[in-house]
Structure 1
Amino acid sequence: MQTIIYGGDAYLTGDDIADALLSYGRALGEEERAELVEIPVQEPDGSVVTAKFLIGPASQIVAKQVPGSGPELEAPELVDRLRTLTRGVESPTGAPVEMRDDTAYDLG
């Protein structure tokens, strides 16, 4: 488990979740973009709630390992989605361009 420190508060979440959040934040920061991301975090009483983070170029996020903090908090679908979004920011792809067959093009 890792503690994410954001805006002066600490949020306990799983290793993969924290790593994916930081990677996405780094990618967004490099592109001067910001996004709202929701992740599960564990409260001191053990309950799991959702926390919303605004991440982007101005985000100051720190994650640190927390030894012996109980069972790992996992969200594989969220981690996959964040990794996909990160790849999309790092290597954007455009939509295919469709060309009509009956169009004449002047190639110079």
Structure 2
Amino acid sequence: MRIIIYAGDEYLTGDDIADALLQYSRALGDDDRAEIIEIPVRNENGEVVSAKFLIGPASQIVTEAVDVPSPELVDIELVERLHRLTISIERPTSAPLGSDDVSHFEPDGTL
């Protein structure tokens, strides 16, 4: 498990989720864009809840590995979606992304 340190708060999530969030944030920063991404986290009571992060050029995110007794948080679909989005920024193609692949569309139809 990893703790995400963001805006002075800490969020506990799975290793793969934290890594995918960091990679996508870096790609967005390189592309001078920002997005809101929702990920599963464990609250202080151990319950799985969701947290939304504004990531992009100004993001200051740190993750730290922690050893906790609770099961690893896993969201394969989210991790795969974040990887696809990261790759679409790093290696753009002429094929448009589907609406399920992005979390925000600009009014002019651009990502």
TM-score, normalized by length of structure 2? 0.83
Partner of 2:54: 54
Partner of 1:77: 77
Q: Which runs of 5+ in 2 are unaligned?
A: 97-111
Q: Which moved more, 1:69-78 or 1:19-28?
A: 69-78
Partner of 2:64: 64
Contact 2:3 2:11 in 1 (8 A): yes
> Distance in 1 between the 2:75 and 2:68 partners?
19
- How far 1:34 sits from its partner (Å)? 0.4
Q: What are the superposed Cα offsets for residues 23-53 of structure 1, whole Å, 9 maximum, x if unpaired?
A: 0000000010100100000011111111000
Q: Which runs of 5+ in 1 are unaligned?
A: 97-108
- How far 1:68 sits from its partner (Å)? 2.9
Q: Aligned Cα RMSD in Å?
A: 1.2
Runs of 4+ in 1 over 3 A off after TM superposition: none
Give the percent of matched residue pairs that are identical in Structure 1 and Structure 2.
Answer: 64
Matches within 5 A, 1:36-47: 36-47=36-47
> Distance in 1 between the 2:93 and 2:57 partners?
22
> Distance in 2 between the 1:24 and 1:61 partners?
12
> Distance in 2 between the 1:56 and 1:67 partners?
28
